[in-house]
Amino acid sequence: MPPGIVIIGTGQAGFQTAASLRTEGYQETITLIGEEPHIPYQRPPLSKGFALGKQDVDAVELRPAAFYQDHRIELLASAKVTEIERAEKQVKLASGTRVPYRTLVLAAGARNRKLPMKGAELDGVLYLRSLEEAIVVRDRLKDAREIVVIGGGFIGLELAAAAATLGKSVTVLEALPRLMSRAVAPVISEFFRELHTSHDVKVLCDCSVAEISGAGGRVKGVELRDGASYPADLVIVGVGVTPNVELAQAAGLCTANGVAVDEQLRTDDENIFAIGDCAEHPCIFADGRVRLESVQNAADQGQFVAAAITGHRGTYKALPWFWTDQFDVKLQMAGISHGHDRTVTRGNEESKKISVFYFKANHLLAIDSINRSLDHIIGRKLIAGRVPLTPEQAADESVDLKRLELAFRHQSGASTLDSI
Amino acid sequence: MPKVIYVSSAGDAREVEVPSGTTIMAAALKNGIDEIVAECGGVCMCSTCHVFVDPEFFDKLPPANDTEEAVLEIAAEERQPTSRLSCQIKMTDELSGIVVRLPSRQR
């Protein structure tokens, strides 16, 4: 058999590449290699419904096991690639086995950043990324009483909401002055601070954690540099991730904040693509290169690479979008707001339905929506289609955004849907 | 057990038994109905589980909420009056025999 496609990583990006290759009619061998023991699963529910016990393992699997057999996708689970041998066009596994490739797709993901401090190794200090870890978090949450979450980003806040929903006493410690500050505008941060506070979650910003204290090997609390101390029988850490670039680096591929790829998601080796959380790509909706951690990015890049391998030409131009669910609120984000110089708000905060529009030099970059789904969806079309919209129009609820988008599309004869 | 009949864009019908409470999207994935993609996992963020519901059953469904209504706007195959997201339709005994037509593309 001639060498086929080897995909390193069984997350959303790796899965999507394999599935889309078959949809695109690819006939040769597909080998999907991952270190985790499970068949590919979704990560987003792990910090939401799964943590609450509403969804079981079965419900988070992307497809049942039979899917891989039915589509002749060879799934190597619990398998670690130790080396990419580019000259021979093969990958070497920890077992010593070598798998040859015609094209290699790196979808190696990222790993949690660990807290570099005293007490981080205590029993009861948990991280969440894998299903394995999610099972531990879910089970330990049941018996825990006082939970401290270190990190007020998406994962930390989703888990804080889950723990509070389960009736636990929850404290969130964030190092920066506001929640989710890398991703959203102050008005959104404030909305979520109030949301958590209204559910009796203690939210503290500008916190500098000094150490995690313990007794008898078990976690007991979190100590701040200012002397404050928060008791905890469970500490959950969500302080960001590090992309898995080591294999690529060792193989001499160009890396920066992720494996560097071009607008076709190819590395500097034309036979190797890199996608998903581990890759940094030139994004037409951002000012330069970005590395994104999201389902949308993983799925769209997987699909794009499958199409590229099967002969489609073109450049990657999917619009980034994200979401987070906390308590009964869904925050929907379209575009990349980084670099904005102005924000305007549509809707009013009292109604708990608002959208924030981010502009740079009067050009719309991104929209974050709370309980305003239509703004989010039309927003994707506005941004992807580069529809002219002034901040004044965005803030004015009497301006019908859907009509404005449609009118522009008719006038320009353009189709925006391809990149959404 | 309630039944769902999935009809491909080419007209092929597949009948699947679905436990009450399971969504038409989740049942499709479990049963190898590859025309349902379900990229976002069933949280109304993408439109890749779009189906056209047989008119006879459409009126029996609880109406779509604002989020679903919005997301149907970006369905790869343009929405029709009986379009729904299959992640939002939970099976019940009353819905047994429901026919859903699958679009020719979801992405």
What per-residue confidence (pLDDT) applies to A238?
97
Per CB-CB distance under 8 Å, the chain B contacts of A381 are 73-74
- pLDDT classification of A415: cutoffs 50, 70, 90: low
Report yes or no: A140 at the B interface, CB cutoff 8 Å: no
- Contact flag B29-A63 (C-beta cutoff 8 Å): yes
Q: Looking at the 3D structure of chain A, how many domains does it have?
A: 3
Give yes or no for a contact between A220 and A119, defined as CB atoms under 8 angstroms apart. no
Both A137 and A227 in one domain: the answer is: yes
Per CB-CB distance under 8 Å, the chain B contacts of A368 are none
Both A189 and A43 in one domain: the answer is: no
Q: How far apart are CA B86 and CA B104, in angstroms?
A: 15
Residue A317 in domain: no
What per-residue confidence (pLDDT) applies to A351?
82
Both A53 and A136 in one domain: the answer is: no
A347, amino acid identity: G
Average model confidence (pLDDT) across chain A: 96
- Contact flag A374-B66 (C-beta cutoff 8 Å): yes
Both A94 and A174 in one domain: the answer is: no
Both A143 and A180 in one domain: the answer is: yes
Q: Is B16 helix (H, G, I), strand (E, B) or coil?
A: strand
Which of B45, B70, B73 comes nearest A323 by C-beta? B45
- pLDDT classification of A349: cutoffs 50, 70, 90: confident
What per-residue confidence (pLDDT) applies to A1?
74
Both A211 and A255 in one domain: the answer is: no
Determine the distance in angstroms separating the CA of A231 from the nearest CA of chain B, rounded to an integer: 35
Report yes or no: A34 at the B interface, CB cutoff 8 Å: no
Among A239, A274, A300, the domain boundary falls at A239
Report yes or no: A223 at the B interface, CB cutoff 8 Å: no
Both A167 and A70 in one domain: the answer is: no
Among A183, A205, A239, the domain boundary falls at A239
Residue A323 in domain: no
Instruction: Check pLDDT > 90 for residue A354.
Output: yes
Q: How far apart are CA A239 and CA A190, in angstroms?
A: 20
Determine the distance in angstroms separating the CA of A283 from the nearest CA of chain B, rounded to an integer: 20
Half-sphere exposure for A417 (CA within 13 Å, toward CB) = 16
Which of B32, B41, B66 comes nearest A373 by C-beta? B66
- pLDDT classification of A413: cutoffs 50, 70, 90: confident
Interface mutation vs chain A, best among B23, B36, B43, most A CBs within 10 Å? B43
B67 CB-near residues (< 8 Å, 6+ apart): A330, A373, B44
Instruction: Check pLDDT > 60 for residue A416.
Output: no
- pLDDT classification of A417: cutoffs 50, 70, 90: low
Among A215, A239, A263, the domain boundary falls at A239
- Tokens 């591929």 belong to which residue? A253
Residue A47 in domain: yes
Instruction: Please tell me the CATH superfamily of domain B3-101, with its number.
Output: Beta-grasp domain (3.10.20.30)
Both A233 and A140 in one domain: the answer is: yes
Determine the distance in angstroms separating the CA of A376 from the nearest CA of chain B, rounded to an integer: 8
- pLDDT classification of A420: cutoffs 50, 70, 90: low
Which of A70, A321, A325 comes nearest B32 by C-beta? A70
Residue A315 in domain: no
Domain that holds residue A143: 114-239
CATH code, domain carrying A72: 3.50.50.60
Residue A200 in domain: yes
Instruction: Check pLDDT > 60 for residue A418.
Output: no
Report yes or no: A377 at the B interface, CB cutoff 8 Å: yes
* Overall average pLDDT of the B48-74 stretch: 96
